[in-house]
Each structure stands twice: as structure tokens, then as C-alpha cells.
Amino acid sequence: MIRTQASGLLALFGVLMAATGCYYERSGATGWMYDYTENGGFERPAYFEQETGPGLVFIEGGTFTMGQVDDDLNYAWDNIPRRVSVSSFYMDETEITNHFWLEYLWWLERVYGSTYPEIVERALPDTASWRNKLAYNEPMVKYYLRHPAYRDYPVVGVSWLQANAFCQWRSDRVNEGILIREGLLVHNPAAQIDEDHFTTEAYLNGQYIGERMREGLQSFSPNSEFRDVRVEDGLLLPEYRLPTEAEWEYAALGLIGNSLGELVAERKTYPWNGHFVRDGNSRSSGYGQINANFVKGRGDYMGVAGALNDFGDITVNVYSYAPNDYGLFNMAGNVNEWVMDVYRPLSMQDNNEFRPFRGNVFNTKVLDAEGNPVDKYDYVVYDIDGVTDFLKEYEKNANAVQSLTPEDIDLLGNLQTKVEEATIRKNEQRHEEAQTLMQDAMDMIVDSDALAGADLRKGFSNNIDAVPGNMQQRPETLEENMKRMNYRVADNIDYLDGDQNSSWNFSSEREAPTNNSSEMSERERRVYNFGGSTLISNRSRVYKGGGWDDRAYYLIPGTRRFLDERQSSATIGFRCAMDRMGTAVPYSGQ
């Protein structure tokens, strides 16, 4: 009886303390109070659930059979069925549209256009990808990206690299919007120019100040009254990114609508029920209609006038057709979609059973001698090796058709000299000096009257690795990973399939054939004899889903194709994904 009364008094005391603001939650490990300045101020911020980012829908993870579920018509044997599991994640309900991309270009022009127009140029889609040597597609070249009739159509002509840059930009804009919404930052886009703009990483590392609405969140530290938002607060969202191949295929199948308990009651060939491309539900208002935008047969892109079967000669509005059981539109047809993975024929056999993925390159922040992140970039970072290859290839092709003027030849020679000097500085680990020389080379192009200037400028723009405002990162080194058991080197793209222990070095027997680049690294020659007997390399990226000019076979989620990450197509677009933090299923509140 006494114990019961004592418990009741303690409970009442707890309520009174909470009501008067004097109650503090205690650590289950030490018993010390959280959010208490006199204890040092260690905080336990309130957290309920991850916010769903703009445009995303929740994809509950699970296990599924990944790979080919129908006949392998190409006999590629690169998608042998295998059971894997993916974690819950988020994915865009539609492909990224032309209007979203124009918003992205507008932002780049406002922030970088005056000082670094090459950054804007890097983001321009290749509208010429619509052209065909034996077809009239000039209207698409001129109008598809910018005409309002196509604003809600999927953006195409973007490379894998461009798609990733968009994902990074979108992550920063969404997190910036959250901080503005929470009254921490002032919404003043005009003040953000060059490197002085918001990025999530710069903010989290104390390298973005901006214009503050208030000083920050309350800090319980004895040394400060306010602080910036931290990862521990759970307020900022994880980054937008491309989905992995496994995530994309899992989401496309949408088996959540075909399961009964742990039993998948009906196998799917396409993202919709049934094994046909038409709606087979006799109770549906769309009974008998085509379920996706693709080529029905030889020369049949949209059907007969008066009874068009998909209303799309090319792409269609991203909300066309019914969504799959996850609420995702056009996971088959319309456009193919980039995924994160590097292509290998044996990925299904080599990759892990849990969250399978090939393409890991482990990077870390560049730190100073005190262990703090170094200053963010205030200059453009070029891929010096990529520019070197471009200049050699450009000169070779131009000489083949004798198209260079004396001014072009003079400019090319000066550029090659400058880039060679930059290469020397890079090899000496004098990276900032090397990039200064690269910027000097770009300035030479801008100031030149050579006819080749526009081409050379574009070649430099296509080899930009980082832009002002980005935090400095580097690949992890073997030395810092000596005692690790799970990995040693940073670049694991060709692990078990292309590295020295798993492949034949073709360059040891004979000189590798030349291909798009004038010089190929030993690693590129070693991987499947790139440029000789195959086009597979560490730059080959997977795309999936089938497009507006594909046959029904490519609409099957298990089919896979690949393209160099620097190239683009009028039939390839993309959508973004985001990691899910915490539980596999959101809290329902029940």
C-alpha cells in the first residue's frame, strides 16, 4: 500500500515538473538528464517520423525475385533470376519533367551564369539526341524541352552524370526550403551567387551562413545559446539520388498489390496485373486499352486515327496511364530510366543478396591538420584527364576532315600546353594550382575568336567534377583502410568482375583498339577489352523500363540495358529516390 502511494506521488511529481517546465528526460545509460545545461547540454531532440519529400511516394521494402521473368529474347544471360531484399525507400511518382529541368537551369543561370556560364552549359540536355539520319525530328530538337505543350513530359537527352547533378541540386533546394519554413533562414535567393549559396553539406559543416531569420535553435551547451540544425535533429532530409537497379525493379513490379500475407499470389510480367499489354480487367472502364506508351508493332507508334491506342507518338504526359500498386506512373514505357548501377553481365550472381548494388566509390571529406573540413570550393573543378582525352580526340577528328583554321590550331596548341601544366601540378598533389591553370585555359577559349571555340568550351563543360559551393571530397586511401575487413580501396566498381584478380589484362598481349577516347587506362583495357570486343566499362550505367520507341519486351522490369554515363538519348529519362530512415513501415499513429 505504501509502495503504491509512493509511486502515485512520484507520478504526480513528474506531471507537475513537466507542467512547470522543470522535467528532464534522463539517459538510460548514465542516468544524466538530457537538454540540461548544467550537465553539459547533451540533447535528445524530439523526433517522430521522416518527412516525405516533395514528389515522393513511400515504397515498402521486402524480398522479391529479381531478374528475368520471361523469355530472354536477346540471349544475353545478364539477368538470371535471384531472390534479393531491398529496404524501404521513397521514389518519385513520375519521371522528372521538362518543367522541373527548366527550373533547375533557371537556378543555375541565376547563381552561376555571370561568372561560370560553363556550369549552366554542363546542365543543358542534348536536344540533338532527337535527330535521326532517316527521320524528320527537327520540331522535337527545337521545341520539346522548352515549349509549354511539353512541360509535363519527361525530360530526355540527359546523361547519367547530368541526372546525378540534378539530384544533388534538388536535395539542397528541398533542405533549404525546410530551413526557411522553420523560420531559420530568410528566403532571399537573389543574395546567393557563385559559392555563396546553400548546400546541405556546407550548412552542416558550418560553411554556409546566409541570411538568418533567427540565430538558430536553442542550444543547451554551456558555451552557446543558439546552434544550427544538425543531422541529429532529423529535420533535414536524406539526399535525393537515382534508385539502384534492385530498387527500381522492385518498385516497378509493385508486388504489394499481389501478396496475401507472405505469399505472392500472382506473378507479374509487367507493372500491371496480367501478362498482356492491354487492360484485361473486364470490370475496368479501360478494359482493352493499352497500359503503356510503347511501339505495338512494326511502324505502329500510336494506333489508327480516330482510335489511337496510346495517344503518344513520342513521349506523353508523366501522369498518363494508371499507376502501379505503389502509386508510380509509367514504370513501363514512355521513357527508359537511369539507375545508379554500373553494368556487368554477372551482376545478378555477384551482388549481395541484401540491397544489391554495383558502383560503390567511397569518398570522405578533405580535412585540415586540425581535423576540420577544409573550405568549400570557390572555383570550378575540372576532370583534367577527361579534358586531356577530349582535346586529343577533338584534334584527331578535326584533322581527319581538315576543318581546323589557323586560329583553331593555335588555340588547341595553347590549350594542350596549359592542360599539360595542370596535369603536372595534379600529379604533384598541387590541386588548387592545377585547377587555376584549367580556369586559365577556359578563359583562353572565352577570349578567343577561333571557330572551334564553342566546341572546345562544351568539351571543357562536359568534364566538370565539382562546382563552387561544393564541399571538398576525396577517395579514401588504402593506407587509412589497412585494418578494415569489409573493404580496403575506395573504388569498388569492378570488384570480382574486372579487377586484377578477376579479369584478363588485354593490354599485356597487344595494344588495345582505340575507341571514343584517344587514351584508355590500363583498367579500361583490362575490363572485357573495352573498345575491342565489348562496350562494357566502369562508365557503363544501367537503364531500365522501356521507352516510347521500344517493343513490349523491354517493358518487363527485369530487362536491362546499358549506356556510357556521359552519353544521352531521346528515349532515356530518370526519376529520383530517397533513403528511408528508421522503421521499414511509417508509424500509423494507431
Three-state helix/strand/coil letters over 481-541: HCCCCCCCCCECCCCCCCCCCCCCCHHHCCCCCCCCCCCCCHHHHHCCCECCCECCCCCEE
Give all strands of the β-sheet with 89-92 in edge-to-edge order: 56-59, 89-92, 577-579, 240-241
58 forms bridges with which residues in the sheet? 90
In degrees rounded to 5, what are phi and psi of residue 255? -70, -5
pLDDT score recorded for residue 183: 95
Domain assignments of the chain as residue spans, ordered by start = 2-33, 98-238, 381-466
CA 311 – CA 318 distance, rounded (Å): 13
Nine cell digits for residue 225: 545559446
d(CA 418, CA 437): 6
Greatest Cα pair distance in the chain: 103
Residue 560 grid cell: 536491362
What grid cell was written down for 180? 526557411
Instruction: Report long-range pairs for 308-317 (Cβ below 8 Å, ≥24 apart).
Output: 312/548, 313/548, 314/140, 314/144, 314/548, 315/150, 315/153, 315/154, 315/156, 315/548, 316/153, 316/548, 317/152, 317/153
pLDDT in tens, 267-286: 889 999 888 888 777 676 67
pLDDT at 12: 44
Residue where the block lists cell 539530384 = 167
d(CA 560, CA 43): 47
Task: Identify the bridge partners of residue 132 per DSSP, sorted by sequence position.
Answer: 135
Question: CA 221, 225, 229: angle at the middle one, nearest 5?
Answer: 80
pLDDT of residue 511: 44
| 33-59: pLDDT as tens digits | 999 999 899 999 999 999 999 999 999
Within 8 A by CB and 6+ apart from 105, the residues are 120, 123, 124
The answer to whether the CB of 337 falls within 8 A of the CB of 242 is: no
User: How many residues in the chain?
Assistant: 590
Which residue, 269, 285, 286, 375, is CA-closest to 332? Answer: 269
Backbone angles phi, psi at 436, to 5 degrees: -65, -40
- Alpha-carbon span 396 to 122, nearest angstrom: 23
Interacting residues of 476 by C-beta distance below 8 A, sequence separation 6+: 362, 363, 364, 489, 490
Query: Which residues, in sequence order, are CB contacts of 416 under 8 Å at separation 6+?
Result: 391
What pLDDT score does 510 carry? Answer: 45
Rounded to a whole number, what is the distance in angstroms from the first to the last CA of the chain?
Answer: 34
- Residue ranges of the chain whose pLDDT lies below 50: 1-21, 509-519, 590
Residue 399 is predicted with a pLDDT of: 87
Distance CA 427, CA 438 (A): 14
Nearest in space to 124 (alpha carbons), one of 96, 147, 139, 102: 102
Q: Are 448 and 485 in contact (CB under 8 A)?
A: no
Q: What is the DSSP letter of 408?
A: H
Residue 332 has a pLDDT of: 96
Helix axes 160-181, 98-112, angle to 10 degrees: 80
- Give 552's Cβ-side CA count (13 Å radius): 16
pTM score, whole prediction: 0.92
Residue 474: helix, strand or coil by DSSP? strand
Find out whether 50 and 581 touch, Cβ atoms under 8 Å.
Answer: yes
- Name the one residue in this structure whose C-alpha cell is 551482376: 347
What is the model's pLDDT at position 6? Answer: 42
Q: For residue 89, give the nearest of 228, 249, 216, 293 by alpha carbon.
A: 249
> 406-427 and 384-401 are packed helices; what angle lies between their axes, rounded to 10 degrees?
160
Question: Residue 379 has what DSSP assignment?
Answer: S
CA-wise closest residue to 150 among 285, 313, 296: 313
